[in-house]
Chain A
Amino acid sequence: MSDGKQDETPVDSTPREPEGAAGEPDAGSDQPSRAQSVLREILESSTLVVIMAIVASLAIGGLLILFADEEVREAATYFFSRPSDTFQAMGDALGGAYAAMFNGAVLNLNANDFAGLIKPFTQTLTMATPLIFAGLGLGIGFRAGLFNIGAQGQLLIGATLGAYVGFAWHLPWGIHLLVAVLGCALGGAVWGFIPGVLKAKTGAHEVIVTIMLNYIALNLVAWLLTLDTFQRPDSNNPISPIVDETAQYPLILGSEFNLHLGFLLALACAWGVWWLMERSTLGFEFRAVGANPRAARTAGMNVSKAYILVMTIAGALAGLAGSAQVLGTEKVLTTATAGSLGFDAITVALLGRSRPVGTVMAAILFGGLRAAGPTLQVQAGLPVDIVFVIQALIVLFIAAPPLVRSIFRLPAPAHEKEVAA
């Protein structure tokens, strides 16, 4: 893959928004005053595109649900004699599915008490936690012009080191958690450092290297889990012992909920990443290197150093996503610890436009879809895979704003028209 010839934004090729920091007053404050131009502004905004992309994806997801629903298919066989049956079945299938999603991800309206009512939402936030961590790291990479596909491997290596500290070392309360969390970050950082340094020193494309490192990490962990040091003594399965309670993230809403301290740490990281990218001189370098590495170098920036640092930081954040798994929800290390989190985090970072606030919101959205999985299975009899389909569709639509605009017949913003001309 040709180096340095990529687009300025790895995320999409449409012109970038002005990169003035969030919260900074927009200097070109020629806000249109009339209602019509306000409406136009809303129709052209990328927020509306995001919302419409979500709507379109849920709608396509609905079609799939209908197609897969046995009662709908059965009723459809005699559609022309009794169409009402088909529509009835369709309504049931869709209503059931969307209700299950809401009950599973937002508020459980069937619950008896307040705790039960809000439990789904806390579950959503729990599920969002690793996605926030990893998505933040990937976002830094995207803005620095690095396409890191390796969150999966970085997460796994981080989780391995953190889990090892968690179950093998027995340290006092507080210190144990701190060391375990740092272990996760360190493991991920090492696995991010490798592609960073290869890119900086040999020009090896990070996409290829990180993909390969994902599989190397998986095999490495599979091997480690056959060793006595890592394998649970009473088991033949590749599974580690449970991490000590002192190394687990404390539950922040009490034992009734799964939401743990990792979520707050993730929010803190989001703020940290915002500061890094928008306010710090280091972030300025990262952004300059991402947008034009040659100009950055001519201006005296050390591009190699930036690549290595970005990949290391991204790896550390992915490692922290691993901590949300091994020190938070799962408490053990297996080869399945990473699940598809590394790839899901890519979609999170893309949907969040690589910005911290966007990433947190996207992670909560996709965390919600994941949280709804079990409820979908139980209440609507739908496999959890439907949420991955919806997730992928959302990102595809987001990546191509003109496509969404043409589906919903929204006006194109000025810059896109120029491109079309």
Chain B
Amino acid sequence: MSTTAVDTATAPGSGSDAVPRTKSWRATIGLGIVAALSLLVFGLGTPAGVQTTFTVSSSTDFITLPSITVPAKAAAVTLSIIALLLVGWVAYRANQYRKVGIWLPIVFGMVVMGALLTWAGADRSGTTIQLTGLLTSALFLAVPLVFGALAGTLCERSGIINIAIEGQLLAGAFLAALVASAVGNAYVGLIAAPIAGGIVGWLLAVFSTKYWVNQIVVGVVLNLLVLGLTSFFFSTVMSDNPELNQPLNMPDLAIPLLSGIPVIGPVLFDQNLLVYIMYAAVIVIQIMLFRSRWGLRVRAVGEHPKAADTVGIKVNRTRVRNTVLGGAVAGLGGAFFTVASGLAFGKEMTAGKGYIALAAMILGRWSPKGALAAALLFGFADALRVQLGIIGSDIPSQFLAMTPYLATIFAVAGLVGHSRPPAAEGIPYKK
């Protein structure tokens, strides 16, 4: 590093300290309440002397592991205390005017859900918690959320708010089903889906950059438009010609060796092609956004478009390209609903997943890895809802379904730590 003295401090108002001094207790309070509730309800609410059993592998696995049985109360209390310790860390950092990383709310969420799971699975002789199955379905349910959140990140990093993720997912799902059915090959759907999403992204970009229409308005209206269009064609062309909307399957491709690792193997490496594309997309976009020339320029456009313009970067062109790319990524995620799940297209089949993806993007603080983590957390909540339904838990499934939305409100209210969107987001660039 250079040895020259860093020039600081002439103006007190202009932020002359090298440490961003933000002392906020909101995150401590928000997470603290959740952790305390976890201890009260899941920890102390679990009857003593009973056990919870987790099954970690199925009989078909290469290596079978025995089920894990833990004393329920002790486990739930321990997990809740871990959650409280995490809150303590947040408080410690806040006292030092420091922020906490994205990992914290995600780990925190996982720990609290673990406590919930232990509590719900306690004293249920005969039923066990299928951990591997739970994780597998969590990952699978997270796929459209990851693609959607990546799409949101790509657009918003360049300064365009993408509320139309829902529409892009739906358009992708529709065209994937249509084209794959027409050709008779599910994989062709993976090519068609991003085209549909890209078109929706292009419309968003044109209305935002050329006509300066409020980006939230365009997003909302595009969602309605795509919903209307896909429903219309579903009820006319597709119902007149059922051969254009068939359930096509995309087989799981087990990766040799890797898929044999206990627990992780079947969860991560015995999935279909779309899931592997998702891994690649997260890694590539993460690296490109933060370490490539393109990424630096995109972020400059999203933070300070005028500054980007003065060094010769075409602001609106960058925005259009990114929004189309983002739309295409979301469209690809839409293929999850049809060809990658072995289902035919159905009206409104994305059912608000686009908005949860938006939530994952915010909770993931506009970064691909954060989006991945948040989407996995939400996918886990969704999988848990299904699992608890199976073991007949007392928790109404609706409350678990609410968790992503509640988590997001907490996040934007600053209750899970500070998040800062790109500064120029939503503002049309006019010379």
Contact = CB atoms under 8 A, between A and B. Distances in A.
Do A and B pair up? The answer is yes
Contact of A388 (B228, B398, B425, B426): B228
Given A212-B405, A213-B405, A392-B224, A68 B232 contact: yes
Given A223-B396, A347-B224, A388 B231 contact: yes
A383 B213 contact: no
B26 interface: yes
A343 B398 contact: no
Contact of A385 (B212, B231, B423): B231
B412 interface: yes
Contacts of A147: 214, 216
Given A2-B424, A204-B412, A347-B221, A389 B232 contact: yes
B97 interface: no
Interface string A1-18: 110011101111110000
Contact of A222 (B214, B398, B423): B398
B131 to A, nearest CB: 26
A205 B214 CA distance: 15
A399 B414 contact: no
Interface string A206-227: 0111011101100110110010
Contacts of A340: 224, 227
Contacts of A69: 236
Contacts of B163: 207
Nearest to B424: A2
Contacts of A383: 231-232, 235-236
A213 B355 CA distance: 11
B213 A208 contact: no
Nearest to B347: A385
A391 interface: yes
Interface string A290-301: 000000000000
A10 B217 contact: yes
A226 B399 CA distance: 13
Given A11-B214, A396-B218, A400-B207, A208 B402 contact: no
Interface in B202-260: 207, 211-214, 216-218, 220-225, 227-229, 231-233, 235-237, 240
Mostly, the A contact residues are: helix
Interface size class, chain A: 35 or more
A68 B244 CA distance: 13
A178 B120 CA distance: 44
Contacts of A393: 225
A134 interface: no
A421 to B, nearest CB: 11
A385 B231 CA distance: 6
The secondary structure that dominates the B interface is: helix
Contacts of B213: 12-13, 399-400
Residue from B213, B216, B227 whose CB has the most chain A CB atoms within 10 Å: B213
B406 interface: yes
Contacts of B308: none
Given A208-B358, A388-B231, A10 B214 contact: yes
Nearest to A64: B232
A403 interface: yes
Contact of B161 (A1, A9, A70, A350): A1
Contacts of A324: none
A385 B235 contact: yes
11 contacts: A2-B425, A10-B216, A147-B214, A207-B163, A209-B413, A220-B398, A222-B398, A344-B224, A387-B228, A399-B214, A400-B207
The 8 closest A-B pairs by CB, nearest first: A388-B228, A383-B235, A68-B236, A392-B225, A400-B211, A389-B228, A13-B212, A385-B231
Interface of B: 26, 161, 163, 207, 211-214, 216-218, 220-225, 227-229, 231-233, 235-237, 240, 352, 355, 358-359, 362, 396, 398-399, 401-402, 405-406, 408-409, 412-414, 421-428, 430
Interface of A: 1-2, 5-7, 9-14, 64, 67-70, 147, 149, 198, 202-205, 207-209, 211-213, 215-216, 219-220, 222-223, 226, 340, 343-344, 346-347, 350, 382-383, 385-393, 395-396, 399-400, 402-403, 419
